[in-house]
Amino acid sequence: MKKILNNHLISIVFVGLLFIIIHFLYPTETSDDMFSDLSLIRTYTELDFLDLNSPEDRQLLKESLEIYEPDKTSFHDSLLAEIELYLTNQTRATAGSRESTKNIDGDKLVSILIMLIKFVAIYILVLLITYYAVETFALYRFVHDRYSLSFFKSISIIAHKLSNSNNFKSKSVYSIKILAKTGQIVLKALMLLILFAPAYVIAYSFKTRFDTESIVLMIILGVISNGLLITYTQKYYTFLLSESRKGYVQTAVVKNLDSGFIFDKEGGISLSSVFRFNKNFPGHILDQIYENVRFQYLTTLKEQASFLITGLIIIEMALNIQGHLCYELMQNILYKNLSVVLIILFGIFLIVKLTEIVIDSILLKHQNKIGNISSEDSE
């Protein structure tokens, strides 16, 4: 455990030092640094008879300057570009943006800390929901696929019965079954389309019905969008398939351990046991398969957590969710507030590392438990 903590601590210290070096190598620009001659720009923008927010008035100023200084065309182009940038910054400042706050004070740090805590709370909640959903859907599919027929095989069997039926009633029943099967596959396709869709596509599809700044909407999008749920359900399902083909499973079947994979049948698996939070399948071979896969998946859970953080960052930025960490990150990147950007990035990096530390600790505890059991068995 100490070795794991030391390895993670070294990476945290390294990244922290790297960010500090970047901060000193590339200090945040002030307003004076952004413009070649700020006093000249202010002189022109404060003229009462010119509205330089208007493209027509800027063109008029350019033509006037070229009349008096015809040999400075490139300088005039640069000046007009800087005037436009200056006026844009002024407009954003009036609208309440924070680009003028170049120095980080106590209030700024507290504000960032509050946004970071909010981000962590959403992240933990979405991670727990997606982990539960991934386990549940993978287990459901694993059990379901062991006894159910594929779509095309089911359709072919029903179609064969339909063609051989001789009365209207049976033909109607089989036709309805075909329609029901087709409806199921269409519904599944629509669900897959939603699960693979980017968050901003789903959000803006319902923009008129939901508040895009809602934390609840952000949590829902974090769970169902960007392909996270379907991707990691498939990975968990692959773990289950691989584990079910190992030798101990065949040995357990020979020893008459329950191995019937069907829901709500004697010798099978209870549907409620798949959907409960604390999953266990006493007396069934799935219990051993699940216990082994559950800890094997923890290494993949670190990947899932990183994928989730990326998704939440995209959601906050794409939906312009003001007052949240990643919207603040985007704003400060726009206004070149490097100090704030580095602090937020380091905070996100710490979330990733703390997640890895927790997962590595659980894995180490499990490995030590297995090692102790093996030692006792050998004695």
- State pLDDT tens for residues 71-99: 888 888 888 888 887 787 776 555 444 44
Domain check: are 60 and 77 in the same one?
yes
Is residue 305 assigned to a domain? yes
Domain limit, last residue, from 56, 75, 101 = 101
Domain check: are 189 and 317 in the same one?
yes
Domain check: are 86 and 214 in the same one?
no
Domain check: are 225 and 185 in the same one?
yes
Q: Which amino acid is it at 212?
A: T
Domain check: are 266 and 294 in the same one?
yes
Quote the pLDDT of residue 122: 94
Is residue 300's pLDDT more than 90? yes
Domain check: are 137 and 197 in the same one?
yes
Residues 157, 149 contacting (CB under 8 angstroms): yes
What's the domain range around 79? 32-101
Domain limit, last residue, from 101, 133, 155 = 101
Mean pLDDT to the nearest integer, 268-292 = 84
Is residue 360 assigned to a domain? no
Domain check: are 129 and 51 in the same one?
no
Q: What is the DSSP letter of 95?
A: T
Q: Which two three-digit tokens encode residue 310?
A: 């990326």
Which of 20-29, 56-65, 114-123 is modeled with the greatest confidence?
114-123
Is residue 302's pLDDT more than 90? yes
Is residue 305's pLDDT more than 60? yes
Is residue 82 assigned to a domain? yes
**What is the rounded CA–CA span in Å between residue 135 and residue 93?**
48
Is residue 111 assigned to a domain? yes
Percent of the chain with pLDDT over 90: 24
pTM of the model: 0.73
**What is the rounded CA–CA span in Å between residue 78 and residue 35?**
10
Is residue 190 assigned to a domain? yes
- Could you give the number of structural domains in the chain? 2
122: Cβ–Cβ under 8 A, 6 or more apart, which residues?
Answer: 215, 218, 219, 222, 312
Residues 123, 351 contacting (CB under 8 angstroms): yes
- Confidence tier at 70 by pLDDT (50, 70, 90): confident
Residues 92, 99 contacting (CB under 8 angstroms): yes
Chain mean pLDDT for the chain: 80
Is residue 243's pLDDT more than 70? yes
